[in-house]
Amino acid sequence: MGTRSGTGDKKGQGVALSLGQYVRRRNGVPMGASGSFRGMMVRAFGAASFAGFWRYWNPIFGYYLGRYIYTPARRVVPRPLALVVTFLACGAIHDGVTVLARGTTQFLFTWWFLFFALGVVLGEAAGLNLARRPFAVRAGVHLAYLCACLGLAMAAQRLVAGW
């Protein structure tokens, strides 16, 4: 997620990328091509940071989040807050799908995505850089991050339910 989702450069300036161009940039292959899912997984779990993980994870969804939530939010609030807003919106969308499918939700996804966002912001503030680590270590760190965020989300959910 971020300004890179629908733009031609890292600063959010330049020519906007189409969805197809964006997916190709993120996965290394055209949208829907053989190997695109594998490319997404390898690039996401092999990323040097939590922010990098999310740049590669589900590029189609990331494209629209970046274009319609992050970029407008970034125009009015600082980057870390725009990231949190974007992740919260993503969690709310996932919880909305849960409501449509089950008729109810406990907002697990919103909590989970809040903790994802905090991980990205804190990882960037701490200068997290796993680039020199073997792929297995990077993948393990990302998996631990995802699981830790889920655990925190479940704890937050239980805490709020007890109020």
Q: Token digits for 91?
A: 């969690």
CA distance 77 to 40: 30
Counting residues of the chain whose pLDDT is more than 70, the rounded percentage is 91
- Quote the pLDDT of residue 14: 55
Cβ atoms of residues 19 and 60 within 8 Å: yes
Q: Which pLDDT score, from 0 to 100, does residue 27 have?
A: 86
pLDDT, position 162:
79
pLDDT at position 16 is 87
CA atoms of 132 and 76, how far apart (whole Å): 36
Those residues whose C-beta lies under 8 Å from the C-beta of residue 96, and which sit 6 or more positions away, are 105
pLDDT at site 105: 87
Regions in the chain scoring below 70 on pLDDT? 1-15
Using alpha carbons only, how large is the chain's radius of gyration in Å? Answer: 16
